[in-house]
Structure 1
């Protein structure tokens, strides 16, 4: 991983040598000497990284290299800080212009002194590696080309390959949950990390029969660093979401005792199932248990690593039998099945050459699913010769009987096997708390801002970072946590055992410091992850080396000041600042001094105004102001020539979405000077009008563009711009009113790579060019008011996976013809006021999984042919006619129940008295017999 730091410093040294022609010749020569020595050192770093787990000397040497690289970076950044004048024409800037030569002379003297000092350290390190450079056991191995057997689908969906041996414990746990109407009970699953406790309980939680019995369900991840108040608030939010009612505003101000009382009151007379995942201490259970009333038939499920937590929780609630399920390792047969599925290509088994090595390695995994999956991720990319090396290298860590240490050894092997450029990216995942889903795009932007992503010819940095992400996914080091309707990965997570390993490595390498409680910061802190409160940082020393500060908990719920966030720290060299959710109302002036800043997120704060001094941040690449109160940006934003992602918007949705529920910002014409922009969301077209719209075509790097308050007269100008945006992947246009026409008929060259299109507003006719968007995966049309059936123009799109219609078509019939919509998985039809009939031919939408029918008042019967949709998993009705719902009730003579009996889950929802009332019909379906395993009933 030190190679990343060295590469980064070499780039900076090269820039210094090229740009600073006035440096003294001696200084330039010494800087060049340092660069040359670092180039030589870099040649040894990759070998050292691969063996550092087996050589203390290698660890020590790599540490020295990393520290000197960091010191060089600090010196260069300090130098740039001193010689860079902030842009602008104010009085202070004018005064600073009077003596720039004096400042530069002083700065050059200081950098000369520092370079002289660093030179001797670099020479000492360069001489030292020859004395103890260990032999690299893999140096003589000819590495076979790596072929990635794609595991994207394994990650997107929890396949049976990850669930070997789960059916028996699943069946027993479901039996414990459903048997009898006893008073509230606790069911606990206990076992060491990596056994699959969470996976097992999640399958139980999502089981159709369990859903049928428990209307009120919630899943809470406790973990080691949870905040009880936030945990209880999350539980309240989940329960109110089930009821389709907004969370009362007073909940945010409640303390723990009040929240427990609120939950207890809400759950009275209700049959509930609450899962508390990853409970570590009996005190954690004691703090939450009083929130659960003694309702008949209700259940609480726990997963924990500690037997005393499992037994204590059951003894508190259960009247007779202690329902603790100890989860055991997989049997040898189950382990072999899992190993083969994850290591070898589908329908292929290992031959005799591979089998001996397979059995030896697998035997050392001792039936732990996580270890098997992790080691499989390494082996799947290796030749048979490399398998033998891996088999031998495992021996050192597997000689002891301590299973946890053995598993950590195996999992660490996955880390050491990573290419050098992925090690920093993987360690960076430890910056996120274990309870926090990791947003993929946020992660990618952070990687880039940190300097982990190396440019490749013909690819953007974001595309390179996506390739990094996919490689970690293929190695089973990260898991998909959430996806969009069209199948894009939205969030990811990392297993808790892997997190423990990389947190330790991050700390050992001074890569990251995590604040969870009262701590004294280390002497040299480069990245700081605040996971509790800045008040817990009891350190008066200013940390000038800090490069990244991310906060994942509200700093002080009683304070409206930013001082508790930034005051204890010296941030002058900061590159990343993420204060999402902080209690900020005024933009902190300290930020304007951070000239090295590349990533700034003030998402979900209460900031209203961005001062003109934002122009000082000329290295900024990401500015995230989503869900703030910002409505305009100053003209000085145009100075940020490196800005790539500009997010300034918020949503305000009550019951149903309305056309004015999305708010953007008032932009000036200067916005089109930001030539590096890739994401621009959302600009208000009624402010600046065609003058801005016409110039958007200059932003030829744009991947995503969002426009709100669009007017008909903007159409020609926008078409002219879109014709030039060849890299566009997502386009969103929202009219200023429902009857305002979106006129895009004159578009000559629709962006051929467009994947997502959102058109919200009236269309005089269906845009002809949409049917040529072969990359389109998601299409959302709202308030289109078309008179011709749009389905005809869309059915042949080869990659369309999600289709949303809201008040799109005024006709009486929608006809989905045979062979149409071959990739469609989600279809939503909302407020089609004239719609009376929906026809689905045999062969249409063969992959459809989710069908939503909403507010179609004249549709009194199921879509004709719905019985052909054999992949359908979820059917939802929202404010649909009672006559339609009656037709699918079991036992109604002449009804349509037979058409949907294959659908595992059916929901019907109505808006009444300011909230949603949900009636659900769940089914368990036998894979060989599509008849329900039990008679369904309405809840």
Structure 2
């Protein structure tokens, strides 16, 4: 992990050497020397993560490298801070340049002194550098962890929850496909991939079908020739012949040829267990012939990309899932209480411990085994395990294998992903982390490396996807069009990551009053209360400050009140959800700040002095009461994300339920903007928007008909636009956006709220459109005609869009649609769905269509539907869907969930048609309300 600190510092050193800063004589040479020495250490740092826990000397050396990297970063940041402080008082005249140089002399002397001191420390560290084997090549790891070996010895009677996945895998092995097929089993470490594969491999039916078979242990440290020799030996054993002595001297190509000849005339099954790299499959696949005999290859891996890569030609990936709650509880009791039931007085605390295991079999077995030796009379001892779970993992020998398995995935990460994963330790447990919030934080922290042709946001998004594909993160919630909305770590992995973050002083979590504080705090997460923040012995050198769920008011909030001067180097200040009503004045003096979030606070105004935050990249004022930004906002030339809006969720059908902001300044000066939401329109603004060619997402409020021509011209220049939302000044105001001859080719989301005199025909050409929302359009022509051929459209919403009597969904129309919402189509009397239309539709929502008395004709053709929800529909419509006596019930009985709801007395009454009209439970009610929000709240 220290490799990350050094790598980020090397980037800073390179920038310092390139900048036109008048450093004192000899300083550049010292900086270059430090850079050279640290670069020479990178090889050893690459292997340190996997070894330092077992080598105290190495661990101490790594800590010294980390400390000197932090000292150097502090020196550079303090120097930049002093320059910025003086730069604000200078201008471009020769006299003021002279004054600037004079005033910064002290700063240049200070950094010269700091660098001299750091250079001495670096030289001492270099002299004491440990001499480790394997530097320059990848360090060899143990061929197998004990827990993986144990997985091969388990009997089926000892396993829980394996019957269903085992049957599914055997079905895949036995299908009628004659070509060689690959079946990769993937999922996070500890899920039981090896155990499942071995149970399938040893099944008598499988052995009978695949008389030629072999099991190959791969691991991270595989050597190709050794792997191939092992495979040759196994194949000769299974056919009952001794392997030729010459095999021991063969090279890879010859070994592959031998294997291919042995397998060419037989139906075979080869298992490659614990694959970490795509090159394993590339190295082996040519030795496994596609002999058209129904041969199969099973492969276990933690990485989704390897799974998809290996089965790309022919095969099907198998994502192993976590144990369901009841099966997890059964396994826990089996291991903890030797098959007996849990004592009643321990059940509550045991359920809490089990929840932390998150359905991970390895964790349940390991923790159950550790608890099995504890006395059952003293409940406090069990509660202590629950409370201090991380410490229990660290200090319990019986949990060592589990820690190794979970740590292995972390240790194998490239340095840039280690920092990104460690950063998640800042968030509270059970906290669902917003996708874009995390990406912007990573960028502000400096974790994201630039790549040619990509924005930093796109690179960060690829990091997030890689962590997901490596099974290190889990998706908590997706948007209706399939995008990730929130994510989190598995609880046990989180504990491992938290231990690493604490050990490496990556971040400090102030949640409990009795925490042990490090000597220096660089990233601080305050949870629940400010009283947990220690004053006195701890030195604050804050780069990041985040607060979560604070209970006390921040009426007189001051960062300096609890960390003195140690906050002036802040890059990240996230006060989301804090009880704050006034913009803290001291923020404008945080000259290095890159990320500022006041989201979900009661702040009402932003001062013009915010212009001093020249490094600011993200300003998040969502769901605050800010409606006007100062003209000085356009001086923030690095601003990439300007987010100022709020919703009134309870009145979603009200036209003015969303509020944006206005600014009387030339917004076109903000050339770096990528997201601008929601800005109130005026004639000058429409022209200015054309200068923002980097925009990815744009939201406009209060647009008038006469603004249309200028906006169309500006949109044509936004070649990078992905999302566009336009709302008229009133619901009967025409949105005139028809004259766009070159629409943004990459546009994925389009939201139009207001009158349309006719449908904008340029929308037909947007082949990348994924989501479309139209409100108050009041079209007389059928809008489906213009949308049905869009190949990637997944989510479509209409509210008062069409005044016609019929909607006709034609065969082959909407090939990718997953969600369809129809609301308040006042003239609609008949809806028809031809066979073959919307073949993948999963969710249908129809509400407040008062004249629609008949159930849509052809709804039975929508065979992929998972749920249908009807809100405030006519009684005749609902009656026809009743299980008893409903003439249309047979057409929707294939749908797992059908709900009907009515708005009564200020709340929704929700009914399930499957329960003969009985009112649903509160959980069903909540489900329906969430669906309502999905259907009606549009976000850019």
**Corresponding residue for residue 899 of structure 2:** 907
Q: CA deviation at 1:780?
A: 0.1
Q: CA deviation at 1:407?
A: 1.1
* Counterpart Cα distance in 2 of 1:388 and 1:802: 35
Q: Secondary structure at the match of 1:47?
A: helix
Q: CA deviation at 1:493?
A: 1.1
Q: Deviations over 1:177-235 (max 9, x none)?
A: xxxxxxxxxxxxxxxxx999xxxxxxxxxxxxxxxxxxxxxxxxxxxxxxxxxxxxxxx
**Corresponding residue for residue 626 of structure 2:** 630
Q: Deviations over 1:464-492 (max 9, x none)?
A: 11111111111100010000010000001
Q: CA deviation at 1:911?
A: 1.0
Residues 520 and 538 in structure 1, CA contact (< 8 A), matched pair in contact too: no
Which of the two has higher C-alpha Rg? 2
Counterpart among 769, 772, 778 of residue 771 in structure 2: 778
- Normalized against structure 2, the TM-score is what? 0.71
Matches within 5 A, 1:338-737: 352=213, 354-355=215-216, 378=276, 382=280, 403-518=398-513, 519=515, 521-540=517-536, 543-557=539-553, 560-563=555-558, 567-569=562-564, 570-685=566-681, 689-737=682-730
- In structure 2, relative to structure 1, the CA distance for the partners of 1:592 and 1:437 (3 Å cut) is same
**Corresponding residue for residue 877 of structure 2:** 884
* Counterpart Cα distance in 2 of 1:402 and 1:35: 41
- In structure 2, relative to structure 1, the CA distance for the partners of 1:556 and 1:718 (3 Å cut) is same
Task: Establish whether residue 835 from structure 1 lines up as the match of residue 842 from structure 2.
Answer: no
- In structure 2, relative to structure 1, the CA distance for the partners of 1:83 and 1:90 (3 Å cut) is closer
- In structure 2, relative to structure 1, the CA distance for the partners of 1:96 and 1:531 (3 Å cut) is farther
- Normalized against structure 1, the TM-score is what? 0.72
Q: CA deviation at 1:41?
A: 2.1
**Corresponding residue for residue 855 of structure 1:** 848
Q: CA deviation at 1:531?
A: 1.6
- In structure 2, relative to structure 1, the CA distance for the partners of 1:165 and 1:591 (3 Å cut) is farther
Q: Deviations over 1:413-432 (max 9, x none)?
A: 01011112111111111111
Residues 535 and 564 in structure 1, CA contact (< 8 A), matched pair in contact too: no
Q: CA deviation at 1:349?
A: 11
- In structure 2, relative to structure 1, the CA distance for the partners of 1:552 and 1:677 (3 Å cut) is same
**Corresponding residue for residue 138 of structure 2:** 139
**Corresponding residue for residue 741 of structure 1:** 734
- In structure 2, relative to structure 1, the CA distance for the partners of 1:708 and 1:407 (3 Å cut) is same
Q: Deviations over 1:87-137 (max 9, x none)?
A: 76899xxx99996444311111111111111001111222222x4334359
Q: CA deviation at 1:661?
A: 0.9
Q: Secondary structure at the match of 1:706?
A: strand
Q: Secondary structure at the match of 2:8?
A: helix
- In structure 2, relative to structure 1, the CA distance for the partners of 1:86 and 1:908 (3 Å cut) is farther
Residues 339 and 376 in structure 1, CA contact (< 8 A), matched pair in contact too: no
Residues 677 and 697 in structure 2, CA contact (< 8 A), matched pair in contact too: yes
* Counterpart Cα distance in 1 of 2:589 and 2:210: 60
Q: Unpaired segments of 5 or more residues in structure 1?
A: 143-161, 169-193, 197-328, 341-347, 362-374, 924-934
Q: Whose relative contact order is higher, 1 or 2, with alpha carbons under 8 Å and at least 6 apart? A: 1
Which is further off, 15-24 or 648-657? 15-24
Residues 702 and 728 in structure 2, CA contact (< 8 A), matched pair in contact too: yes
Q: Unpaired segments of 5 or more residues in structure 2?
A: 142-159, 167-187, 203-208, 223-272, 285-298, 303-361, 371-395, 921-940
* Counterpart Cα distance in 1 of 2:460 and 2:590: 25
**Corresponding residue for residue 3 of structure 2:** 3
- In structure 2, relative to structure 1, the CA distance for the partners of 1:332 and 1:445 (3 Å cut) is closer
Q: CA deviation at 1:804?
A: 0.1
* Counterpart Cα distance in 1 of 2:430 and 2:726: 35
Residues 659 and 734 in structure 1, CA contact (< 8 A), matched pair in contact too: no
Q: CA deviation at 1:820?
A: 0.5
Question: How many corresponding residue pairs?
Answer: 720
Residues 543 and 571 in structure 1, CA contact (< 8 A), matched pair in contact too: no
Q: Deviations over 1:677-699 (max 9, x none)?
A: 100001001xxx12111111111
- In structure 2, relative to structure 1, the CA distance for the partners of 1:668 and 1:543 (3 Å cut) is farther
- In structure 2, relative to structure 1, the CA distance for the partners of 1:349 and 1:424 (3 Å cut) is farther
Q: Deviations over 1:510-556 (max 9, x none)?
A: 10111111146322111111122111113135744110011111241
Counterpart among 729, 751, 758 of residue 765 in structure 1: 758
* Counterpart Cα distance in 2 of 1:563 and 1:339: 63
Q: CA deviation at 1:389?
A: 15
* Counterpart Cα distance in 2 of 1:87 and 1:805: 53
* Counterpart Cα distance in 2 of 1:729 and 1:42: 39
Residues 596 and 619 in structure 1, CA contact (< 8 A), matched pair in contact too: yes
Q: Secondary structure at the match of 2:864?
A: coil
* Counterpart Cα distance in 2 of 1:596 and 1:628: 24
Task: Establish whether residue 802 from structure 1 lines up as the match of residue 795 from structure 2.
Answer: yes
Residues 2 and 62 in structure 1, CA contact (< 8 A), matched pair in contact too: yes
**Corresponding residue for residue 48 of structure 2:** 48
Residues 521 and 539 in structure 1, CA contact (< 8 A), matched pair in contact too: no
Matches within 5 A, 1:119-158: 119-129=119-129, 131-135=130-134, 139=138
Residues 521 and 538 in structure 2, CA contact (< 8 A), matched pair in contact too: no
* Counterpart Cα distance in 2 of 1:748 and 1:725: 13
Residues 559 and 567 in structure 2, CA contact (< 8 A), matched pair in contact too: no
Q: CA deviation at 1:778?
A: 0.4
- In structure 2, relative to structure 1, the CA distance for the partners of 1:96 and 1:664 (3 Å cut) is farther
* Counterpart Cα distance in 2 of 1:432 and 1:521: 18
Q: Secondary structure at the match of 1:85?
A: helix
* Counterpart Cα distance in 1 of 2:421 and 2:415: 10
Q: Secondary structure at the match of 2:406?
A: helix
Residues 555 and 564 in structure 1, CA contact (< 8 A), matched pair in contact too: no
Residues 637 and 670 in structure 1, CA contact (< 8 A), matched pair in contact too: no
* Counterpart Cα distance in 2 of 1:679 and 1:83: 30
- In structure 2, relative to structure 1, the CA distance for the partners of 1:338 and 1:622 (3 Å cut) is farther
**Corresponding residue for residue 921 of structure 1:** 913
**Corresponding residue for residue 242 of structure 1:** none
Residues 357 and 388 in structure 1, CA contact (< 8 A), matched pair in contact too: no
How large is the Cα RMSD of the aligned pairs? 3.6
- In structure 2, relative to structure 1, the CA distance for the partners of 1:751 and 1:141 (3 Å cut) is farther
**Corresponding residue for residue 109 of structure 2:** 109
Residues 58 and 133 in structure 1, CA contact (< 8 A), matched pair in contact too: no
Matches within 5 A, 1:146-225: 164-165=162-163
Residues 533 and 562 in structure 2, CA contact (< 8 A), matched pair in contact too: no
Q: CA deviation at 1:740?
A: 0.4
Counterpart among 884, 888, 905 of residue 896 in structure 1: 888
Matches within 5 A, 1:857-872: 857-872=850-865
